[in-house]
Amino acid sequence: MGRFLARIHAVGRIEAYRSRPALDLESFGEASVAFLMEGGWLPQDIREVWHGVARQALAGVRHCYDRAGPVASLRLHGDCHVGNVLWTGDGPHFVDFDDSRMGPAVQDLWMLLSGDRPAMTRQLSDILLGYEDFMDFDRRELHLVEALRTLRLLHYCAWLARRWDDPAFPLAFPWFNTQRYWEDKILELREQISAMDEPPLVA
């Protein structure tokens, strides 16, 4: 997996996308929060609570990027979770490049990790063992793992809201935009705020 993903990234760094947007604080974070607030998606009784927690989370994302310092950006898969990897006798095959965009290499690594911190550390070490056969990996990007997870959480809420007029979406995501949904998101964001204050993973 690590070797194949590195080969994708080796091609991805040759040149930048001409039209696709970047995965960054503004497009995934600020724009998502603004869209949800301006569109009236939040229940009135928790609207300001969610907004306050979201702004605090975005401040945590900025802090993570400050700790990492300048990092390279390349063409990514962008949505590289295990559900988008098909395995055959020839190895992994990546599907669903709809979210491909410019961003840091670690975006395509952290989404393959799961479990508690020791488990993710072992998985990351295994992936990088193969990855670095084809691509160098800047360890400073590990400061961005929880920041990118936070941005994905915000972006996904807005992604659902932007498509809610499609009749297929209320059927596929009946739990979206309920009181419980937004209450859970507040808790998730608070967890991410704490996670972003922790030291990064070490591989």
Which residues are marked as active site? 79, 96
Can you tell me the distance from the alpha carbon of 84 to that of 96, in angstroms, rounded to the nearest whole number? Answer: 6
Q: Looking at this protein, which amino acid is placed at residue 36?
A: L
User: Residue 58 has which token pair?
Assistant: 């975005």
SS3 sequence of the chain: CHHHHHHHHHHHCCCCCCCCCECCHHHHHHHHHHHHHHCCCCCCCCHHHHHHHHHHHHHHHHHHHHHHCCCCCEECCCCCCHHHEEEECCEEEECCCCCCCEECCCHHHHCCCCCCHHHHHHHHHHHHHHHCCCCCCCHHHHHHHHHHHHHHHHHHHHHHHHCCCCCHHHHHCCCCCCHHHHHHHHHHHHHHHHHHCCCCCCC
